[in-house]
Structure formats: C-alpha cells, structure tokens
C-alpha cells in the first residue's frame, strides 16, 4: 500500500512538472529503490564534509537536504537541527512526503547542500534531474550516481549538469546497497561531489579532430543509426565488452553486440593505427552498472590525445 501511494504521489507531481522529458512514460517508471549501506553512507558523508571544509565552507552555516531519504542511512548522519529528509514514501515521521523535483527550500539565512542516493532512471535521466534540481539552491551536492557520470561519454551527462562542476569522483564497492528487506543488491555506482561554479572558465579536454572522425553504428532495431556512413570508415571498433577488450576490425560484420564506432583516419594513418591497435581498452572505457564495459567516443579520442595527437 505504501509503495502504491508513493507512486501515485510522484506521478501526480511529475504530471505537473516541466522537468520530466516528454519521452518518459510516467506510469511505467518504478520507484527504483535500493538503499545505501550505513557504512558506505558514513564514508560518503565524511568525504563531503572534508571537501567542503577544504573549500573554505563553514559547515555550521549549512542546512543539509537528503532528497530521497529512504531508510535514513544518510539522514541519520546529518546535523539534527539542520537536516531535511524528503521522500515520496514516508519511512520516517520527520520526513517531508513529496517529490523532490517539485520542492524547493525556504530562504532562512542558511546555505544548502544536498547529499544522498537519488533514483537513477533509464540511462541516468532521473539522477540528472535530481542533480540539476539540487543545483538550483545548493552550493554543494554529494550524490551516489550511475556509472554514466564517470566521463564525457555518448550521453555526456557531466556537461549536462547546470551551475555545478565536478570536484570528486570515485567508484563505490559492489556491495554498497541493500533492498528494503536488507538483502544485498549489487550495482556499480559512483560517489561524486559537485560544487557551485565560481568565476573562471573550466578547462576543456584536448581534441584530436584533425586526425580522426568518429560515428556510431548501431544495428539494434530500436536504435538504428550509422548505416549510411559505413562505407566511409577505415575501421570499426565495438562499443561493449566483458572480459576480452575489442580490436580494430575492417568490417562491421565482425563487431560483436551489433553496436560500435566507425573510425575515419584523416592523417598520420600508420601512427594512429598503432595507437588504436595497442590501446588498453580496459583503461579507456567505463564500467557500466551490470559489469560490462563501454567504450565511448571520448575514450577513443583520449587514447589519441594521451599519445600526443592534439589539435593545434
């Protein structure tokens, strides 16, 4: 009964909220509940406090918000007179029962920081919304986030965060979560700290566009793309792998899992080929939620820029 009423509350809120992408079928989205083990929450909380202090923040001037408070692993660590727990399911009488995306704090002279384990959503869309909403009123945000936030990959989640910049990112142990019954839930995730952007431009990563051109080829029925450009590619590289990293192939028929990249080499072909053939794709890839690894375009480019092939 509790879960049902929580979904109804959330769906009503989402139906009135312009944040929610049009492609999201609200009624099909579950609560995405997995809870942080207290020992992991404590380590994350200590990490946030340490960073805030090093950044010159006076923690005693902050109210702390847990936007998906759940079983209270983070909430229990927050200063008792300066904490706000929010959840669509009221696990504690002290929580505010509402959808975080439709809530904003009162202006009371305090500064705000958010900390917790927000729902992820398909391809991290919901985690991104939570992060961007928190950015509207928070100087600091410490969130457990999906693996898609670890680099500027295909979806480039990092650059879609508004008003904050990433100051810390580290992977969490595989056994960091439990379900509502206390059973272990194995999910790959990150602990990240984001801080309000201060004056000055962030340094952008180097590019290598004068050396290569990349495009995605996907043969999956629901995501067909890249077929018209396949004849342009000098080589192909598969996107996903498990134990054995991929190698360059000259035909897309040799690409496993029917998804990969077409690579057009513009100049310095012999040198570029040597780098791409000897690159350690275990290093130039992301660990995904379910233990496969994903190579993104940014990883291919980084393999080249790390070797000194940088646009003038």
pLDDT, one tens digit per residue, over 226-274 is 999 999 999 999 999 998 999 999 999 999 989 999 999 999 999 999 9
Residue-wise pLDDT for 32-48, tens only, equals 678 899 999 999 999 99
Does residue 128 come out as left (phi exceeding 0), alpha (psi in the -120 to 50 range) or beta?
alpha
For 167-202, the pLDDT digits (tens) are 999 999 988 998 878 888 888 899 999 999 776 556
Q: Which domains are delineated in the chain?
A: 2-196 (3.40.50.150), 212-306 (no CATH)
pLDDT at 1: 40
pLDDT of the residue at 168: 95
Q: How confident is the model at residue 312 (pLDDT cuts 50, 70, 90)?
A: confident
Q: How far apart are CA 136 and CA 162, in angstroms?
A: 9
Task: Report CA torsion sign: 173, 177, 182, 186.
Answer: negative
- How far are the Cα atoms of 31, 116, 208, 238, 243 from residue 145, in angstroms, in the given order? 16, 9, 29, 25, 24
State yes or no: pLDDT of 154 exceeds 60: no
């Amino acid at each position: 009964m509790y879960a049902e009423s929580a979904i109804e509350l959330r769906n009503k809120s989402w139906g009135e909220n312009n944040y929610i992408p049009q492609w999201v079928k609200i009624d099909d989205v579950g609560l995405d509940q997995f809870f942080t083990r207290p020992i992991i929450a404590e380590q994350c909380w200590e990490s946030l406090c340490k960073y805030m202090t090093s950044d010159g923040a006076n923690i005693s001037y902050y109210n702390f918000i847990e936007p998906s408070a759940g079983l209270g692993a983070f909430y229990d660590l927050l200063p008792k007179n300066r904490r706000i727990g929010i959840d669509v399911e009221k696990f504690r009488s002290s929580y505010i029962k509402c959808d975080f995306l439709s809530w904003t704090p009162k202006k009371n002279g305090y500064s705000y920081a958010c900390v917790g384990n927000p729902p992820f959503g398909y391809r991290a869309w919901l985690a991104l919304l939570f992060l961007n909403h928190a950015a509207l009123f928070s100087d600091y945000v410490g969130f457990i986030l999906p693996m898609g936030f670890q680099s500027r990959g295909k979806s480039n989640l990092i650059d879609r965060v508004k008003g904050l910049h990433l100051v810390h990112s580290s992977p969490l142990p595989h056994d960091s979560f439990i379900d509502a019954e206390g059973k272990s839930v194995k999910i790959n995730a990150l602990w990240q700290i984001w801080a309000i952007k201060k004056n000055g431009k962030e340094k952008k990563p180097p590019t290598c566009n004068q050396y290569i051109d990349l495009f995605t080829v996907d043969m999956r029925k629901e995501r067909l793309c890249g077929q018209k450009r396949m004849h342009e590619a000098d080589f192909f590289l598969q996107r996903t792998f498990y134990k054995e990293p991929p190698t360059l192939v000259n035909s897309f028929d040799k690409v496993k899992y029917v998804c990969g990249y077409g690579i057009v080499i513009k100049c310095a072909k012999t040198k570029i080929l040597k780098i791409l053939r000897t690159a350690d794709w275990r290093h130039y890839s992301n660990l995904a939620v379910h233990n496969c690894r994903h190579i993104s375009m940014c990883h291919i480019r980084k393999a080249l820029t790390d070797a000194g092939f940088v646009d003038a």
